[in-house]
Amino acid sequence: MNLFGDKEISIVVDEEYKTPAAPKLFDWLGSITTKKNDMRSESMKGFEPYIVNKGLGQSEDTVGFANIMNRLPNIPKEQQYLFLLYGVPKHRSYVKWTKIDKFDKLKEVSAKLGYSDDKAREAILVLGEEGVKELLYVKGGVPKPIKRKK
Set out the domains of the chain in order of their start, with CATH numbers: 25-87 (1.20.272), 106-137 (no CATH)
The pLDDT assigned to 16 comes to 61
> Which pLDDT belongs to residue 74?
92
For residues 80 and 69, what is the distance between their CA atoms, to the nearest angstrom? Answer: 7
Model confidence band, residue 130 (pLDDT cutoffs 50, 70, 90): confident
Kindly report, residue by residue over 80-112, the tens digit of the pLDDT.
999 999 999 888 776 777 776 667 788 888 888
69 in Cβ contact with 83 (< 8 Å)? yes
- Round the average pLDDT of the chain to a whole number and report it: 82
pLDDT at 42 over 80: no
- Assessment of whether the complete model's pTM goes beyond 0.75: no
